[in-house]
Amino acid sequence: MKLKEYQWGLILVGIVLGLMLTMQYRSYKDINETPPIARVQALSNEIKEKREDRLLLQKRVKELRDKLDNKATINSDVIRSELETYRIIAGIKAVAGPGVEVTLNDSDVPLAPGQDPNFYVLHDEDVLKVLNELKAAGAEAIALNGLRLTATSEIRCIGPTILTNKNKRLSAPFTITAIGNPKTLESSLFMKGGVVDQLKFWGIQVDVRKKDNLEIAEYTGPTTFEHAKSIQE
């Protein structure tokens, strides 16, 4: 049976409509499966913001690290300076600076018959008086016959000698080296009625010289502490 022309037209129209419906379905499906453009833009902006936040955090981290390193350097310098000060105070650090050099010797005055010779020789208390005057006048470091004196150094009479730093025996003449303000140290010794006047009354030889630069070695004696313990905070 032959198809008429209008029937062919209907078939052709059906085919075209089918193709159109198929294409429309596929387009609708792609649209549903593809994120909307606005969502894509929002995600892009969010990623950009996160990157900017990360850069800001990295910058802040760097600033904090630099600040910490700088603080550590400052603290290190402060600790180093304090440690040097404590070493000087403890006497375990050799030092140099201006000051005075005091030489003491027994009297050269001839003794009259019946006079007690003990009045005309140096004793431990005479040396101790000079040392105390220098400390009171601000001496920052002191040595006796080249031996550095510390807070635990003793001045004791042992026969014709003086004992210091536990086991060092010294005999006259005695040379006291003190670092500090030369003028102040000298004035403290020559006060009217002071230690120099008292020593010279018995003919004890005293020579005080101001020095622009003196060197005092570090303490080398025993440093064992059996009873004194640091307090733990």
The pTM (predicted TM-score) of the whole model is 0.67
Domains in the chain: boundaries: 95-216
pLDDT score, position 74 = 66
Q: CA angle, 97 as apex, 83 and 86 as ends, to 5°?
A: 15
pLDDT score, position 39 = 67
Residue with tokens 């690290």, as numbered in its chain: 65
pLDDT score, position 1 = 46
At residue 12, what is the residue type?
Answer: L
CA 50, CA 189: separation in Å to the nearest integer?
Answer: 77
On the CB side of 126, CA atoms within 13 Å amount to 29
pLDDT score, position 23 = 65
| Helix, strand, coil % over all residues of the chain, rounded to 5 | 50, 20, 30
The pLDDT tens digits along the chain (233 residues) read 444 555 556 566 666 666 666 666 555 555 555 555 566 667 777 777 877 877 887 788 788 777 777 776 666 777 788 888 888 888 889 999 999 999 999 988 887 777 777 888 899 999 999 999 999 999 999 999 999 999 889 999 988 899 999 889 999 999 999 999 999 999 999 999 999 999 998 899 999 999 999 999 999 887 777 888 888 76
pLDDT in tens, 178-191: 999 999 999 999 99
Contacts of 60 (CB under 8 A, 6+ apart): none
The domain over range 95-216 is classified in CATH as 3.40.50.970: no
- Specify the DSSP class assigned to residue 2: P
- Specify the DSSP class assigned to residue 67: H
Pseudo-torsion of CA 144, 146, 148, 154, nearest 10°?
-40
- Specify the DSSP class assigned to residue 112: P
pLDDT in tens, 114-160: 777 788 889 999 999 999 999 999 999 999 999 999 988 999 998 88
pLDDT score, position 143 = 97
